Amino acid sequence: MRPTRLPPVGLMLLLCGWTCPAVAWAQSRTMDTGHSTLKVRVFKSGMFSVFAHDHEIEAPITQGSVILSTKPSVQLRVDARKLRVLDSKLSPKNRADVQKTMEGPQVLDSNRFTEISFHSTAVESKGKEHWTVHGNLTLHGESSAVAVNVDLRNGHYLGSARVKQRAFGITPVSIAGGTVKVKDEVEVEFDIVLVP
């Protein structure tokens, strides 16, 4: 049985945000898109999931900024048309099939919904250099509230969030009568660097 064409939702990525330590004044900083990464992990499920693959998707950040202040905030944008399936265990043909399904109307419909964005609404300090960032993620033409855990390590804002595809009007792909399918919940991971 050939690997199934299980797509991601992409950020759904993305689906994510972070912030910096609060300081006494407002300061806007730009994200270094060349050194920042955003990835989406999509997981298989179902009776015959042993024949399927989990998926890893790269979601390049096209624009992002952070406001450093006593009321910090963050926003970012991803071009949905630039998401790329990285699955190294798939043949080039099967990887292309997953890519096509991800981009198509069944999942991201990226030609119609070209942008994925996140805008924070609140930031909670969870200790030194650790926060929970609450905000709105817009994906596939739908917006939903998400919470993102963030840690600052050596100048990198690292974190992750879990997002459900159905919250954005996407029905997880299912094949072979549901014996192989994609889990509704996907994981978004990021490593963000700010321009000095």
Residue with tokens 């999509």: 42
Cα separation, 80 vs 116, whole angstroms: 6
What are 74-131's pLDDT values in tens digits? 999 999 999 999 988 888 998 898 899 889 998 999 999 999 999 999 999 898 899 9
42 closest CA partner among 63, 62, 14: 14
Cα separation, 99 vs 93, whole angstroms: 10
Residue 132, classed as helix, strand or coil, is strand
Whether 40 contacts 59, CB under 8 Å? yes
Asked whether residue 13 carries a pLDDT value surpassing 60, the answer given is no
Q: Model confidence at 8, in pLDDT bands (50, 70, 90)? A: very low
Q: Which residues contact 82 (CB under 8 A, 6 or more apart)?
A: 59, 60, 62
Could you please state the CATH topology (level 3) that the domain comprising 27-191 is classified under.
Lipocalin (2.40.128)
Cα separation, 80 vs 26, whole angstroms: 31
